[in-house]
Structure 1
């Protein structure tokens, strides 16, 4: 869904645009911090229920950071997400196996290399604030800010007519 800068966009349309840009899966940069020590690394993500999901080994440093400080930032292309991470338990214990099935379908190479059932946990990231760089139908760049907690958006033109 694209639009012209003269057209209004609703909160629901903005959230839809975000997930349309992300698609079914992406490799996103994940930033986390603990005691002012910041780390960034790539994670293989799936998107459903207006959330971001990835798996990680429960013994990794990033997992320790996420469990002690759930505030994270994630980025892919023009989509930058600030949110909260939550441990959803072992990937194999997710009801309906939605993540495992999607991971196998969309991220086969990673699924095939890194699936360890006894140590892999599912992390759910709930977006709080999102900044999207996008282009309108009429070719103008703009920023789209989505506040998930207030359910508000702001469109800020970058190019001037």
Structure 2
């Protein structure tokens, strides 16, 4: 049996794999919970500086939930990110307006339709733990676990034959 993924990845290589999979943007499922009441919804995410960003209206139910409990999970196609979110203020107040420029570039329809300058806030998610499911080039399933606080990773082969 041959397994084509390097089980001795460095932390930096594992993080590179994470952000290569996510590319520039994705629609991700965002899970949050307050008072034992979980919610999940899709958000349009952008990725830069090894963080995840999305915008939301500061008056939405999900946003109020994030203010009460900043622990979140995001998921897209075999990539699960657990992290801590932070309100970075109004999207238009970001110093270099990087999010706004990237959102306009990659998500023009949403940008054009849902940009409310006076209520749209930027949420930054700092990853704490990531689990990536994938298949190697020789068709073996595997997982990569990335622990951001300790900078440790584990590559675990799922298939045994």
- 1:36: which partner in 2? 36
Give the RMSD, CA atoms, in angstroms.
Answer: 1.2
**Structure 1 residues 61, 4: CA separation in 2 closer, same or farther (over 3 Å shift)?**
same
Structure 2: which 5+ runs fail to align?
Answer: none
User: How far apart in 2 are the matches of 1:110 and 1:88?
Assistant: 20
User: How far apart in 1 are the matches of 2:122 and 2:148?
Assistant: 22
- 2:77: which partner in 1? 77
- 1:151: which partner in 2? 151
Cα displacement (A) at 1:141:
1.0
Structure 1: which 5+ runs fail to align?
Answer: none
**Structure 1 residues 119, 17: CA separation in 2 closer, same or farther (over 3 Å shift)?**
same
**Structure 1 residues 6, 82: CA separation in 2 closer, same or farther (over 3 Å shift)?**
closer
TM-score with structure 2 length normalisation? 0.95
TM-score with structure 1 length normalisation? 0.95
Cα displacement (A) at 1:6:
5.2
CA displacement 1:79-98 (0-9 Å, x = unmatched): 00110010000000001110
